[in-house]
Structure 1
Amino acid sequence: MPSRTRSVWLLIGVIATLVATNVIAHFTSRWANLLAVPVAAVLLAIGTRLAGLQWREMGLSRSELRAGVIYALGAAVAVFGIVSVAVAIPATRQFFLNDRYDSASSALLAALVVIPLQTVLPEELMFRGVLQGALGRLFGVRGTLTLGAILFGFWHVSSSLGLTSGNQGLSDVLGSGVAAQIAGIAGAVAATAAAGLVLGWLRWRTTSLLAPVALHWALNATGALGAAVAWHLPR
Structure 2
Amino acid sequence: MPIVCAVAVLAATNLLNNWLARSPALYVVVCVAATAVLLLVARWDGLTRADLGLDAAGLRRGLRWAPVLAGVVLLVVVLLLAVPAGREAFRDSRAADLSVAQVLWVTLVRVPFGTVLLEETAFRGVLWAMIRRRRGTAWATGVSSLLFGLWHLLPSRGINRSNAAVGSLFGDGPAGVAPTVAVAIVATAAAGVVLCELRRRSGSLLAPMALHWAVNGFGYVTAWAAARWWLEG
TM-score w.r.t. the length of structure 1 is: 0.90
Unpaired segments ≥5 residues, structure 1: 1-8
Query: Residues 203-218 of structure 1: matches in 2 within 5 Å?
Result: 203-218=199-214
For the structure 1 residues 104 and 169, does the alpha-carbon distance in structure 2 shift closer, same or farther, using more than 3 Å as the test? farther
- What is the root-mean-square deviation of aligned Cα atoms in Å? 1.7
Query: Residues 12-161 of structure 1: matches in 2 within 5 Å?
Result: 12-31=4-23, 33-102=27-96, 103=98, 105=100, 106-161=102-157
Distance 1:41 1:187 in 2: 27
DSSP 3-state at the match of 1:194:
helix
Q: Which moved more, 1:72-81 or 1:20-29?
A: 20-29
Distance 1:76 1:57 in 2: 24
Tell me if structure 2 keeps the 8 A contact 1:49–1:55.
Answer: no
Distance 1:14 1:194 in 2: 21
DSSP 3-state at the match of 1:158:
coil
| Residue 223, structure 1, aligned to residue 215, structure 2 | no
Partner of residue 4, structure 1: none
Partner of residue 6, structure 1: none
Amino acid at match of 2:123: F
Distance 2:108 2:83 in 1: 25
DSSP 3-state at the match of 2:134:
coil
Distance 1:56 1:128 in 2: 13
Distance 2:209 2:27 in 1: 21
Amino acid at match of 1:189: I
For the structure 1 residues 176 and 183, does the alpha-carbon distance in structure 2 shift closer, same or farther, using more than 3 Å as the test? same
TM-score w.r.t. the length of structure 2 is: 0.91
Deviation at 1:27, TM superposition (A): 2.1
Cα deviations by residue, 1:15-65 (Å, 9 ceiling, x for unpaired):
122112112221234255443222101121123214422111111111111
DSSP 3-state at the match of 1:138:
helix
Distance 1:170 1:206 in 2: 33
Partner of residue 233, structure 1: 230
Tell me if structure 1 keeps the 8 A contact 2:141–2:193.
Answer: yes
DSSP 3-state at the match of 2:158:
coil
Distance 2:183 2:219 in 1: 16
Tell me if structure 2 keeps the 8 A contact 1:94–1:168.
Answer: yes
| Residue 180, structure 1, aligned to residue 176, structure 2 | yes
Distance 1:183 1:92 in 2: 21
Unpaired segments ≥5 residues, structure 2: none
DSSP 3-state at the match of 1:55:
coil
Tell me if structure 1 keeps the 8 A contact 2:13–2:34.
Answer: yes
Deviation at 1:160, TM superposition (A): 0.8
Cα deviations by residue, 1:116-152 (Å, 9 ceiling, x for unpaired):
1111112111111111111111122111111111110
